[in-house]
Amino acid sequence: MQEFTVKPAGTIDPETYELTGRTGRYTKSVSELGGVYRDEQAYAAWRDADPQAEAYRVDEFRPSGDEGDLIYGLSVLHPGRIGREFPVTRGHLHAKSDRAETYHCLAGHGLMLMETVEGDTVVVELRPGQVAHVPPHHIHRSVNVGDTDFVTLFTYPADSGQDYDIISRAQGMHHVVVAAADGGWSLEENPDYVVRH
């Protein structure tokens, strides 16, 4: 008789958006996001109101770091405003920059804000059921432009790694997502942006 193994599936709780069977979790508190927002005064007021408040969290299932394997997980980005800016994740480029990633929106309303290393901006707007593909060599961050948690299911190659400093070295991303006069969102150029060479 042939032997086989039954492995438990990862489960996403539809109420709390927590990943059962995760191998890791990290959270970013408001106090850990210094330098991410252009409106430093608004950020300071947000931080000082509750420095340990959770800005976002990530649950992941990382079977290995081997080439050919895949990591998947959940990102939960809470809503709000920091001045005119919408909440964002720190964002990154994959350390192996030829690695791609997908984000499937499970809840909320958000954007995948992407940028080539040369500074060209690409935006994918996401609502439940929609999927964003982050191509190789694209810096990317999530933006919550809604009034509820923006929840995405992501998948990327296990050997990708992350370069978080590429954004700070350029004084932010080329564009900032801000609240528009009509209640929606718009992009504004970041005047502090330093072109990468």
177 in a structural domain: yes
pLDDT of 41: 97
pLDDT of 9: 86
Q: How confident is the model at residue 1 (pLDDT cuts 50, 70, 90)?
A: confident
pLDDT of 196: 86
From CA 82, how far away is CA 98, in angstroms rounded?
33
48 in a structural domain: yes
Pull the structure tokens for residue 144.
Answer: 């919550």
Q: 103 pairs with which residues across the strands?
A: 132, 154
32 in a structural domain: yes
22: which DSSP letter? -
4 in a structural domain: no
196 in a structural domain: no
What are the pLDDT digits (tens) for 123-179? Answer: 999 999 999 999 999 999 999 999 999 999 999 999 999 999 999 999 999 999 999
pLDDT of 131: 98
From CA 93, how far away is CA 91, in angstroms rounded?
7
From CA 7, how far away is CA 22, in angstroms rounded?
14
Q: How confident is the model at residue 7 (pLDDT cuts 50, 70, 90)?
A: confident
Give every CB contact of residue 53 below 8 A, 6+ residues apart in sequence: 29, 30
Task: Give yes or no for a contact between 115 and 138, defined as CB atoms under 8 angstroms apart.
Answer: yes
pLDDT of 107: 98
Q: How confident is the model at residue 8 (pLDDT cuts 50, 70, 90)?
A: confident
What do you get for the CA distance between the two ends of the chain, in Å?
A: 62
pLDDT of 165: 95
174 in a structural domain: yes
Residue appearing with tokens 């001045």: 83
**The whole model's pTM is what?**
0.95
CATH number at residue 75: 2.60.120.10
Pull the structure tokens for residue 170.
Answer: 């350029």
- Structurally, the chain folds into a number of domains equal to 1
Q: How confident is the model at residue 42 (pLDDT cuts 50, 70, 90)?
A: very high
153 in a structural domain: yes
29 in a structural domain: yes
Q: Over range 99-115, report the average pLDDT.
A: 98
What are the pLDDT digits (tens) for 54-97? Answer: 999 999 999 999 999 999 999 999 999 999 999 999 999 999 99
pLDDT of 197 higher than 80: no
Residue 19, domain extent: 11-189
pLDDT of 2 higher than 90: no
